[in-house]
Amino acid sequence: MLGKLSGTGAHLKMSPNGFAGPYTGTVLIQMEGIDPPAAMLYVAELGKGKIVACPFAGAKEVPSELEDAAPGTFSTRAVRWLAGQRRAATATTSPAR
């Protein structure tokens, strides 16, 4: 899903939007400089369902670094990655209280 950005520690300019509290799952992109840390992209599981969470501003374009990291658009890669998972390789999330 992250293509050539995977494991690089690259810095991206993104605008957060949505959930930024405690979560469980596997963080792929984390926002720096805030406490508690917020994930800008993570994968998780809820029951038998798999989740790719992208809580960055939808009114703005996906950062070019994500779009250019591999062939196809980031959104298409995320959906294809998700569709190919038998089980998400993450902890199970708990419903919000």
**86 band by pLDDT with thresholds 50, 70 and 90:** low
State pTM to two decimals.
0.67
HEC states along the chain?
CCHHHCCCCCCCCCCECCCCCCCCCEEEEEECCCCCCEEEEEEEEECCEEEEECCECCCCCCCHHHHCCCCCCHHHHHHHHHHCCCCCCCCECCCCC
Residue 95 has pLDDT above 50, yes or no: no
> pLDDT (tens digit, 9 = 90+) per residue, 26-78?
888 888 777 777 788 888 888 778 888 887 777 778 888 888 888 888 888 88
What pLDDT, on a 0 to 100 scale, did the predictor assign at position 47?
A: 79
Mean of the pLDDT values across residues 14-34? Answer: 73
